[in-house]
Structure 1
Amino acid sequence: MPVVTHYEPIQLTLQTDQVRDIPRGTKGGVVIIFNRIEVVNRLRKEYVYDTLLNYGIHYDKTWINDKIHHEINQFCSSHSLQQVYIDMFDQIDERMREALQGDCTRYAPGVGIISVRVTKPTILDTIKQNYEQMSEEQTKSGEIVLDHPDEPALA
């Protein structure tokens, strides 16, 4: 007859896992750092046994921590700095949630991803200064074009 010598409490209520300091390269090779990504998730009680049997007590490391690293890498490596930092930043939370939930539904159905919050990535200071200077120059050149239109002024 087996004797229980150790047990681990398993949280079934909402929990927030944080993944910190994720450096990733964009499509153009610029390294950005995501300081914090928070994943709100829950393990459904009817799947506790199967989830722990298949993935162990630290199932969340596999399905949240490791998966976030993979998904953010996929996203950044296929998009430019402009897209990641500005154009598509408002979509990253939902894209990460959908990617995580999709794989969890397929391979670990007991893990439910409620939401994902991605902090704005940081850019190395030198790159940030160059980026801001380039943006400023583009704005100025746009103003110059407006000041000197190609068409002659109507008299």
Structure 2
Amino acid sequence: MQSDRPRHRAAGAAGGAGGNSGSVGRTTLVWLAVIGAISAVAGPVLLSPYAIKSVGEGSVGVLRFGGKVLDEIKAPGYHFVLPFLYELIEVPVNVRTTEVRQVPCGTSGGVLVYFPLVEIIHRLHPASVVSTLKAYEDYEQAWIIDRVRHDVKLLCARHSLHEVHIDKFDQLDDMLETASAWVPGLMIVAARVAKPTIPSQLHGDFVRVEEEISKLKVAHQHEQLVVRNAEMERSRQVMAAENDRDIARMTMDRQVEETEADLRIHRIQDEMHLTRSKDHADAASYSKLREAEGNERRLSPAFLEQARQKALYQNLEAYYGNRMPEYVKVNSNSNRLDGGEGGSVGSEAARGAAAFWGRGGHG
């Protein structure tokens, strides 16, 4: 009996181990069955076209989970999205044109007209996509279409029909662009406004106004042409007068320069003549000075005596006859003729005459 107890406990232990391994195997099989079932159900869903989304070029993708816009931005391309849990919203960020048709315009005069088409060219910055979608579900409707109608209404209320249709129509584009602040991140590139349609009963009046304006423009252009031609003629005359004045100034300057040159030439000639005259005078003075010095050295007493004797005999008159003329007075005592100066000459002449007559001279 005692020997059978251990054998029985050993058999019981072996049976317990076999029971545990069997339970583990059953659990594993259960999990494998669950995973297989999930894979069988989710596999076609995950591999279906609903799980693969694409974002086109010029747009970005934004995920929405349970109605909430997530902060993640998807770039252009293919993206995997869990169907029925996430929604991928494609938002354009390139330049787009939004058309707003039949925009009413009530002018300050009470006339209602319609702009058939208003085009807004805009672009949403990629960094502002999430904040714009969170704040406005449809920003294009809220900030472009509705805003255009509101701004056109305000602009028309401050202007008359004539201003809206004619005078300030070319300014409506710029006025519409700067009318109010747009949503942050939304850039307005340009705005184009079509010509408003006016009531038929006012169309004829506007046609006549347009004709009058055209005539006025033609007259104004003709007036400007006449004024421009007059200004051109005046400018031409002014230029001709200035040209004549410049020519006269140049001629006068040339004459002044020629006169100054002549004056300088005459001055130089006068200076040369004066210099030559001074040189001649100096030369003549020097010549006479040298002549005087020569005469002073040459007129010695012997030379003077010789000259005196020569002059005496050159002026001697000879008379031939028996008697001496009465006018010849000989004063032998005083040795002079008639008491004049040069007694020695007279004495010599008297002595010569007496000697001549004494020798029987005659005239």
Q: TM-score category by the smaller chain?
A: 0.7 to 0.9
Give the direction of change, closer, same or farther, for the CA distance of 1:8–1:125 in structure 2 (3 Å limit). same
Structure 1 position 117 matched with structure 2 position 197: no
Give the direction of change, closer, same or farther, for the CA distance of 1:45–1:79 in structure 2 (3 Å limit). same
Q: CA deviation at 1:132?
A: 3.1
Structure 1 position 98 matched with structure 2 position 178: yes
Distance (whole Å) between structure 2 residues aligned to residue 119 and residue 137 of structure 1: 21
Task: Quote the residue 2:156 is aligned against.
Answer: 76
Task: Quote the residue 1:12 is aligned against.
Answer: 93
3-state DSSP class of the match of 1:27? coil
Task: Quote the residue 1:146 is aligned against.
Answer: none
Moved over 6 A (4+): 136-139
Structure having the larger proportion of residues in strand: 1
Query: Mind listing any 5+ residue stretches in structure 2 that lack a counterpart?
Result: 1-64, 67-84, 217-363
Give the direction of change, closer, same or farther, for the CA distance of 1:97–1:138 in structure 2 (3 Å limit). closer
3-state DSSP class of the match of 2:93? coil
**Identity among equivalent pairs (%):** 34
Aligned length: 132
Q: CA deviation at 1:130?
A: 3.3
Structure having the larger proportion of residues in helix: 2
Q: RMSD over aligned Cα, in angstroms?
A: 2.1
Q: Which amino acid aligns with 2:118?
A: I
Distance (whole Å) between structure 2 residues aligned to residue 82 and residue 96 of structure 1: 18
Within the candidate set 61, 67, 76, 2:147 is matched to 67
3-state DSSP class of the match of 1:23? strand
Distance (whole Å) between structure 2 residues aligned to residue 114 and residue 123 of structure 1: 28
Q: Rg bigger for which structure? A: 2
Q: Which amino acid aligns with 1:84?
A: V
Deviations 1:34-55 (A, max 9, x none): 0000000011000100000001
3-state DSSP class of the match of 2:89? coil
3-state DSSP class of the match of 1:33? strand
Aligned residue runs from structure 1 range 1-155, under 5 A: 3-4=85-86, 6-56=87-137, 58-99=138-179, 102-104=180-182, 108-133=183-208, 135=209
**More RCO (CA 8 Å, sep 6+):** 1
Distance (whole Å) between structure 2 residues aligned to residue 136 and residue 95 of structure 1: 23
Distance (whole Å) between structure 2 residues aligned to residue 137 and residue 114 of structure 1: 35
Give the direction of change, closer, same or farther, for the CA distance of 1:46–1:81 in structure 2 (3 Å limit). same
Q: Which amino acid aligns with 1:78?
A: R
3-state DSSP class of the match of 1:103? coil
Q: Which amino acid aligns with 2:147?
A: K
